[in-house]
């Protein structure tokens, strides 16, 4: 007869759960190693595996090279960062600058949490083919979201008819990306709150600053 006092065995973790835990350990290890100023290209796989306390064989099973590693780490680090902006562009814009300022605050907070990794991503994207292709594709997807929203707003008469959705979407995405990256790459003396307020105001004025007057 089975013992009534014997504890139940904990449920075995699924492959997805084990992978998620593994990736989070590697993400923390990479960010810890980058935090001391070591360039990403100079961090050896052996060092990453040792810091994450994983076997090199396990590491290579998930990440065949450091480019793929950086891409996956960037996917994890930017998921919330992009989601904040995407939610605002998909929502009703009835609160003037408040909503976009809050979205910028969330993006900046996400960048601050993962700043070392995202600065490394920005650097490698300029010369690593795979990393560059990933990042350009990610930004391009966001630009398309903004373009579609601006097209809908123009069709509904919510923005000036002269506004070009494609060009405006590209300019706004580049402005936000470069502004946040520059603010974290050098000491500007600008607070996160002020950066969010200024970006939010800039976006609002570009999109709605010359919008047609509403009904009296």
Domains and CATH numbers, the chain: 13-64 (1.10.10.60), 67-208 (1.10.357.10)
d(CA 110, CA 184): 12
Burial of 197 (0-12, 13-18, 19+ CB in 10 A): middle
Q: What is the CA radius of gyration of the chain?
A: 22
Q: How many CA atoms lie within 13 A of 74 on its CB side?
A: 25
Question: Which residues, 6 or more positions from 119, have their beta carbon under 8 angstroms from its beta carbon?
Answer: 181, 184, 185
Q: Quick one: pLDDT at residue 8? A: 62
Its pTM surpasses 0.85: no
Band the pLDDT of 216: cuts 50, 70, 90.
very low
- In our burial notation (b when 16+ CB lie closer than 10 A, e otherwise), range 88-97 reads bbeeebeeeb
d(CA 82, CA 135): 12
- In our burial notation (b when 16+ CB lie closer than 10 A, e otherwise), range 21-33 reads ebbeebbebbbeb
d(CA 30, CA 22): 12
Residue pLDDT, tens place only, 151-170: 999 999 999 999 999 999 99
Q: Quick one: pLDDT at residue 15? A: 74
pLDDT beyond 90 at 192 = yes
What percentage of the chain reaches a pLDDT higher than 90?
69
d(CA 208, CA 96): 9
- What secondary structure does DSSP assign to 36-79, as a single string? TT--GGGS-HHHHHHHHT--HHHHHHH-SSHHHHHHHHHHHHHH
d(CA 143, CA 60): 33
Residue pLDDT, tens place only, 17-70: 888 899 999 999 999 999 988 899 999 999 999 999 999 988 998 998 999 999
What percentage of the chain reaches a pLDDT higher than 70?
93
Determine the angle formed by the axes of helices 66-90 and 129-155, rounding to 10 degrees: 10
Average pLDDT, stretch 78-105? Answer: 91
Q: Quick one: pLDDT at residue 173? A: 96
Band the pLDDT of 89: cuts 50, 70, 90.
very high
Lowest mean pLDDT among 7-16, 134-143, 158-167: 7-16
Band the pLDDT of 101: cuts 50, 70, 90.
very high
Residue pLDDT, tens place only, 168-179: 999 999 999 999
């Amino acid at each position: 007869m089975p013992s009534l006092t014997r504890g139940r065995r904990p449920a075995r973790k699924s492959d997805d759960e084990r992978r998620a835990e593994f990736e989070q350990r590697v993400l923390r290890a990479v960010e810890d190693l980058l935090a001391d100023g070591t360039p990403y290209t100079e961090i050896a796989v052996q060092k990453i595996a040792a810091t994450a306390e994983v076997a090199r064989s396990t590491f290579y099973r998930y990440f065949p090279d450091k480019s793929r590693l950086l891409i996956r780490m960037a996917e994890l680090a930017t998921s919330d960062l992009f989601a904040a902006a995407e939610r605002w562009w998909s929502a009703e814009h009835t609160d003037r600058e408040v909503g976009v300022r809050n979205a910028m605050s969330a993006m900046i907070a996400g960048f601050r949490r993962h700043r070392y990794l995202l600065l490394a991503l920005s650097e490698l994207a300029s010369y690593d083919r795979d990393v560059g292709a990933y990042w350009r594709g990610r930004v391009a997807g966001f630009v398309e979201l903004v373009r579609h929203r601006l097209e809908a707003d123009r069709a509904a008469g919510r923005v000036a008819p002269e506004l070009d959705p494609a060009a405006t979407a590209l300019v706004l995405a580049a402005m936000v990306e470069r502004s946040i990256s520059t603010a974290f790459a050098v000491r500007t003396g600008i607070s996160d709150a002020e950066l969010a307020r200024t970006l939010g105001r800039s976006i609002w004025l570009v999109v709605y600053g010359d919008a047609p007057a509403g009904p009296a």
